[in-house]
Amino acid sequence: MTKTKHKPNKELIGQGIGNTIASVFGGIPGAGATIRTVVNINAGGKTKLSGMIAGIMLLVIMLALGPVASKIPAAVLAGILVTVGIGGVMDYKGLKAIPSLPRDIKIGPIKLSSEVLIMLVVLLLSTFWDLIYAVGIGLIIASLMFMKKIGDLTAERSDVKSLKEETWTDEVGFPENLKEEVFIKHLKGPLFFGSTSDFQALTLQIPNTAKTVILRLGRMQYMDQSGLYAMEDMLQELKKNNVEVLFVGLLKQPRYMMERIDIIPDFIPNEHIFKDFKSCLQWVKDNIKDEI
Q: What is the DSSP string of 96-146?
A: HTGGGS---EEETTEEE-HHHHHHHHHHHHHHHT-HHHHHHHHHHHHHHHH
**Of the candidates 156, 155, 144, the residue with the CA atom closest to the CA atom of residue 105:** 144
pLDDT attached to residue 133:
87
Single-letter code of the amino acid located at 109: P
Per-position b or e across 181-190, b if 16+ CB within 10 A of its CB: bbbbbbbebb
151 and 236 co-located in one domain: no
Phi, psi of 187 (to 5 degrees): -110, 120
Q: Where does 158-224 have alpha helices with state H?
A: 196-200, 202-205
148 and 199 co-located in one domain: no
177 and 257 co-located in one domain: yes
Q: Where among 157, 181, 203 does a domain terminate? A: 157
> Per the domain annotation, does 90 fall within a domain?
no
pLDDT attached to residue 160:
52
pLDDT attached to residue 91:
67
pLDDT attached to residue 88:
64
142 and 242 co-located in one domain: no
Q: Tell me, what CATH number does 279's domain have?
A: 3.30.750.24
pLDDT attached to residue 272:
92
pLDDT attached to residue 247:
92
> Per the domain annotation, does 38 fall within a domain?
no
pLDDT attached to residue 17:
92
The answer for residues whose C-beta is within 8 angstroms of residue 114's C-beta and 6 or more apart is 104, 105, 145, 149
Over its length of 292 residues, how does the chain's per-residue pLDDT go in tens digits? 666 667 778 878 988 998 899 888 888 887 766 667 777 777 777 777 887 888 888 888 888 888 888 888 989 888 877 877 776 666 666 677 677 677 777 777 877 777 778 888 888 998 888 878 888 898 898 888 877 777 666 666 555 544 455 677 777 778 777 878 888 888 887 887 777 777 777 777 788 888 888 888 888 888 888 888 888 888 888 888 888 899 999 988 889 888 888 889 888 999 999 998 888 888 888 887 655 4
Q: Where does the chain have alpha helices with state H?
A: 8-24, 34-42, 48-64, 66-69, 74-84, 92-96, 114-128, 131-157, 196-200, 202-205, 225-240, 252-260, 263-266, 277-287
Q: Helices 252-260 & 225-240, crossing angle to 10 degrees?
A: 70
145 and 183 co-located in one domain: no
Whether 114 contacts 105, CB under 8 Å: yes
Q: Is the model's pTM score more than 0.85?
A: no
pLDDT attached to residue 246:
92
pLDDT attached to residue 163:
43
> Per the domain annotation, does 9 fall within a domain?
no
Domain that holds residue 256: 169-287
175 and 278 co-located in one domain: yes
Phi, psi of 227 (to 5 degrees): -65, -35
Q: Where among 135, 157, 179 does a domain terminate? A: 157
> Domain tally for the chain?
2
